[in-house]
């Protein structure tokens, strides 16, 4: 029977589904990259989250590998082009965490608009400043979404009750206007957005998309939300735009460099954490209690749909 190596921490729902489909599953979340390379020759399937990159070295060591299952949405930690060359199928599960991402993004936005973090910190430090924490209402604002896949669509749906104007640009889609969003050009995004929310994968095209030049094109100050991938945003450019009043606030669940100690060594780190207009979370937008299970359930369903030669 075909064997699957789970080399990362996944909810048991995926393993249970794979076993019902007849696979032998070795659940080894403690495996390092080196241990995975040493063992992968014996497996037809590999399941991973984000522990390490699945590159040529790993795929070349995996003589029997038929598929890679990514427990999450983004595929930037997998060399998909090389997998395709080798006839290795790649599956992921953006459907599993779209609700978590959408709700987290709304939370970031409302917190920024209403100075919730700033007000909380001040009260804990003996400061009672009503005027300095006067917020903005979301109603009537224009929210621009870049990327109208599972995440962008789910975020747009959450905004419906706030009576906002939601516009979206997606380079790879057309004719997607619906009751939640109006399809627009990138020019319209920068001309009209009061809020910009990113829901695109990390690719050669999107890396460092949000830089000084991009921000310069916006016609009015805006709030920036990034729950996609950190490297889409040039952090130094965002901090400069905040200082200049071009960006009113930034909610960042992802950063160009993540995890310590590397994060603390970045030249922009001190400015980032000392900015009162930046709200940070540790790449958890799509990582809710519920999504942990749903991701594995979706991945199991897609495993069932695979046709392996």
Residues whose CB is less than 8 angstroms from the CB of residue 256 and which lie 6 or more positions away in sequence, other chains included: 230, 231, 233, 234, 235, 266
List the catalytic residue out of 163, 258, 290, 304. 258
Is the pTM value of this prediction over 0.85?
yes
pLDDT in tens, 211-231: 999 999 999 999 999 999 999
Q: What is the pLDDT of residue 309?
A: 54
Token digits of residue 188 = 């319209």
Residues whose CB is less than 8 angstroms from the CB of residue 103 and which lie 6 or more positions away in sequence, other chains included: 158, 288
pLDDT band at 308 (very low <50, low <70, confident <90, very high): low
pLDDT in tens, 116-161: 999 999 999 999 999 999 999 999 999 999 999 999 999 999 999 9
Kindly state the percentage of the chain with pLDDT values over 70. 99
Whether residue 198 has pLDDT greater than 70: yes
How far, in whole angstroms, is CA 100 from its chain's centroid? 10
Average pLDDT, the chain: 97
List the catalytic residue out of 53, 117, 157, 283. 283
pLDDT band at 1 (very low <50, low <70, confident <90, very high): confident
Residue with tokens 């990259």: 33
List the catalytic residue out of 70, 98, 199, 229. 229
pLDDT in tens, 90-100: 999 999 999 99
pLDDT in tens, 37-92: 999 999 999 999 999 999 999 999 999 999 999 999 999 999 999 999 999 999 99
Structural domains in the chain plus CATH codes: 3-92 (3.40.50.720), 98-280 (3.40.50.720)
pLDDT in tens, 139-150: 999 999 999 999
Whether residue 30 has pLDDT greater than 70: yes
Asked if omega into 261 is within 30° of 0 (cis), the reply is yes
Q: How many helices (H) and strands (E) does the chain have?
A: 12, 12
Q: How many CB atoms sit inside 10 A of residue 92's CB?
A: 19
199 catalytic per annotation: no
pLDDT in tens, 263-276: 999 999 999 999 99
């Amino acid at each position: 029977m075909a064997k699957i190596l789970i080399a990362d921490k996944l909810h048991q729902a995926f393993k249970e589904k794979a076993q019902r489909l007849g696979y032998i599953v070795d659940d080894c979340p403690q495996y390092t990259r080196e241990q995975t390379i040493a063992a992968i020759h014996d497996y037809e399937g590999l399941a991973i989250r984000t522990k390490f990159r699945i590159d040529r070295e790993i795929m070349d060591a995996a003589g029997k590998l038929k598929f890679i299952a990514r427990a999450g949405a983004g595929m930037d930690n997998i060399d998909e082009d090389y997998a395709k060359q080798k006839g290795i199928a790649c599956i992921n599960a953006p459907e599993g965490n779209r609700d978590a991402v959408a709700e987290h993004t709304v939370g970031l936005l409302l917190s920024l608009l209403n100075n919730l973090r700033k007000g909380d910190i001040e009260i804990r430090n003996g400061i009672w400043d009503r005027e300095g924490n006067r917020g903005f209402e979301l109603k009537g604002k224009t929210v621009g979404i870049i990327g109208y896949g599972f995440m962008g669509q789910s975020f747009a749906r959450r905004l419906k009750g706030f009576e906002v104007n939601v516009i979206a640009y997606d380079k790879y889609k057309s004719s997607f206007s619906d009751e939640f969003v109006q399809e627009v050009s990138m020019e319209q995004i920068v001309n009209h957005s009061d809020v910009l929310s990113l829901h695109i994968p990390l690719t050669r095209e999107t890396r460092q998309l949000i830089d000084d030049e991009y921000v310069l094109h916006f016609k009015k100050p805006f709030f920036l939300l990034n729950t996609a991938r950190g490297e889409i945003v040039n952090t130094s450019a965002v901090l400069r735009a905040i200082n200049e009043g071009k960006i009113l606030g930034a909610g960042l669940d992802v950063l160009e460099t993540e995890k310590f100690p590397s994060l603390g060594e970045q030249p922009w780190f001190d400015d980032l954490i000392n900015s009162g207009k930046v709200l940070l979370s540790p790449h958890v937008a799509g990582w809710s209690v519920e999504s942990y299970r749903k991701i594995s359930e979706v991945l199991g369903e897609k495993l069932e749909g695979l046709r392996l030669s």
